[in-house]
Chain A
């Protein structure tokens, strides 16, 4: 269970990107976060694993207060929260396998990283993760040699290495074409359904949210604008969230 209380984030330049957000997300839910660009979606996701330190409010996860965790505690927490990114954030020069293995670092003896050592069991785990996203044959390629959709699947495999209980996905398909977008979203859905991983996924397009999410959260100028079922977003709500001139488009 993830509980967000009065979450507020004001950046150093004085811009307030999140205002007083309150949310309760039960385990195993597939939640989609929508909103215009600049509405605070990335800020919200990054506050949850504290890549950004919130200015105010609390985030409780399974009873632990993430906002007050020490560095060591934070690393323990982060190990169980996977994250995937719009720009994939892979090390382009490293092999796919190394990129996937690096998702396991939180469980490894840091001294081993000096000699780039991973036990065989971890390598097998990495290959298994790549198999789940269907690109085990690319394990020894350089990450930069893969297509966008394949790179995002490497990103998912890296998150899988963490054995995550929750997955934060920050516009995971915004850089991909529609067909590839659906294939990546299907992997997220699979993990949500098969492994029971809670998924928080920010999306640009409402149609994707409608297709995959159990619940939709809409942000507008850092405020919670809507929180409910995808089907409850009618035309009026849509215009509230995206502005008067917006038209809903379908992604096939």
Chain B
């Protein structure tokens, strides 16, 4: 007993050792393979040519052309006698106040002898050189003794004393030559270089690019973060019947909203313009908002609001919201039109573009408002009725509503997937998600008598999982085959658009119709088994969908997004803003939602117990807890966005990256150095500031 136990523990130890050695060998192999794949070769960086190149590049990068200085070159000459006879005398130097002059000693000498040149009134600490001008008028540079370059540097009082050899020039004896000193004199004071000015301009563009991208991402991220927080979403369950009614009415509401409310919004937008109608529009806006607020609030307070009144309020609310947004758009367009001149014209330009944006998307907004309104009206109308239906009727209703919802769901997916070949995977994936629930619920229904099992044994759980997978795979494969997705994937072409028939001017394609049929079957079966009264984990589904989308978006680098946006809106900071904003939404949405998940749930429970509704609970129990971390993470994101925006220009997204890339391509490393320096300064300042602010709020 003991012996076998120790033997088994011994063999286990040996096994573990073997595993360890095997693991180490595996790591080594992976590492060695990686080494070759990444072309690591230490002989390359040792080549003298490369070393010289990198040395030069670094030297220039580290000598950024921040300042510029203009110079003029002044020539100062004096004559010199070559092997002169007695009686030769040099021309006297023109000693004149502050003009530069030189004195040669001796003024006459043999070839090869050393003469001393004293210079006065030159620019201090600046470059100068000595030229020898012979009788032929030719100018030859004469290096001063002890120097390795042509130039020498004057003293800090503007004088110098250098020595040169008298050159050996055949037949020059007795001639008079000229010694010339070229001195460099600065004009004016040093100033910022052209490069620096450009870099400053682009740097401010970069900072604002990051600022705008961060700012516009805050609101969408904050909204998404609530949907992506499992502690808020998981408890949300609604009866399947209500969900289906809502889902079906959503697209209907969107169409009605776009048609009717869109008109209202446009009308409100255009109302603004003439002073009289503008003023009346303002009054309408003010009173409309007040009235709508009171009505909606009163409705929520009323113990048992009558159904017609609820419906009326919802409709009025929808009209008020759309008209209000339209009026706001009109007002900002109007103000923009009158204020886009002058020093603060940019404010007018901004308002104009807000107005333009609202004008563009008012129909879209109307569609969304319409969708929400109609589906909430539907819920109001059917909620009580659905609660009372008998079980068999609830199954039939479930099958009918589920079928319709399935048609809408897969029809929409198929329509989207007409866009591109690989989008064709969307309908099979959605079908699989629906199919996953069919078999387990069928099993539950027919073998367990429809009893809701609270506790599942291990085998039952495994069985359920297996059934889910079988159902999902079957649905996927069938949809894949019916819709011919394989062909689309291989050929890289979207599904064919064979028109089946035309409904109210909209073509119904065979491909979409097939998808709808599959959706109808899956939806009807799922809805029929479950019945309208079963509770549907709407919160969990929404949570999973939001998280999936956020994660997918986050995995695409802003540089890649930038490439696409450049195609859409052209090269420039606008493309950069869009790319960074999109990535920030995904990233902040995730970070924010993690903050919601880590809050203290006690206050939520407390407020729910007082009878506060969901909005109130969020405003008073959740929001106060998340504001500080939201501020901290927003700062953090701005910091990241500034870093990203310094390179988003590499793909044409505007900002300093564009300048940097150009200078590097032109091998102008001293100018590139200025950009690098600016990036380093801005990034480290922001790093420090954002850390300081984050510290305050966490």
Contact = CB atoms under 8 A, between A and B. Distances in A.
B341 interface: no
Nearest to A94: B624
A113 B615 contact: yes
A202 interface: no
A13 B613 CA distance: 28
B52 interface: no
A12 B454 contact: yes
A85 B611 contact: no
B663 interface: no
A49 B609 contact: yes
Nearest to B604: A89
A49 B303 CA distance: 18
B455 A14 contact: yes
Interface stretch (A19-27, A32-40, A103-111): A103-111
Interface in B593-617: 600, 602-603, 605-613, 615-617
A110 B628 contact: no
A91 B603 contact: yes
Given A89-B602, A111-B296, A105 B608 contact: no
A219 to B, nearest CB: 20
B501 interface: no
Nearest to B615: A110
A6 to B, nearest CB: 17
Contacts, number: 111
Contact of B293 (A12, A75, A88, A111): A111
Interface string A62-93: 00000000101001111111110101111111
Contacts of B610: 78-79, 82-83, 102-106, 158-159, 161-162
A79 B615 CA distance: 16
Contacts of A88: 602
Interface in B602-641: 602-603, 605-613, 615-617, 619-621, 624-625, 628
Interface string B275-305: 0000000000000000001101110110110
A75 B611 contact: yes
B611 A158 contact: no
B612 A105 contact: yes
A85 B606 contact: yes
Nearest to B607: A102
A110 B602 contact: no
B620 A102 contact: yes
Contact of A81 (B387, B609, B613): B609
Contacts of A91: 603, 620-621, 624-625
Contacts of A161: 610
Contacts of A155: 606
A113 B619 contact: yes
Contact of A98 (B383, B612, B615, B620): B620
A13 B97 CA distance: 102
Given A91-B621, A113-B620, A85 B605 contact: yes
B300 A110 contact: yes
Nearest to B300: A110
A84 to B, nearest CB: 8
Interface residues of A, number: 48
A2 to B, nearest CB: 16
B300 A13 contact: no
Contacts of A105: 607, 610-613, 616-617, 620
Contacts of A79: 610-611
A14 B461 CA distance: 14
Nearest to A81: B609
A49 B608 CA distance: 10
Interface in A1-49: 10, 12-14, 49
A92 B620 CA distance: 11
A26 to B, nearest CB: 22
Instruction: Give the interface centre of B454, B617, B628 by most chain A CB atoms within 10 Å.
Output: B454
B237 to A, nearest CB: 10
B602 A114 contact: no
Contact of B603 (A10, A12, A90): A90
Contact of A10 (B454, B608, B616, B621): B454
A169 to B, nearest CB: 12
A108 B616 contact: yes
A168 B609 CA distance: 10
A51 interface: yes
Contacts of A51: 605, 608-609
Contact of B300 (A55, A87, A109, A159): A109
A109 B566 CA distance: 47
B297 to A, nearest CB: 3
A110 B618 CA distance: 11
A76 B611 contact: yes
A147 interface: no
B303 A89 contact: no
A116 interface: yes
Given A94-B624, A116-B619, A102 B612 contact: yes
A189 to B, nearest CB: 21
A14 B300 CA distance: 37
Interface of B: 293-294, 296-298, 300-301, 303-304, 383, 387, 454-455, 600, 602-603, 605-613, 615-617, 619-621, 624-625, 628
6 contacts: A85-B602, A87-B602, A89-B602, A89-B606, A105-B613, A106-B610
Given A82-B609, A102-B616, A109-B298, 8 more contacts: A76-B611, A83-B609, A90-B606, A91-B620, A94-B620, A106-B611, A159-B610, A168-B609
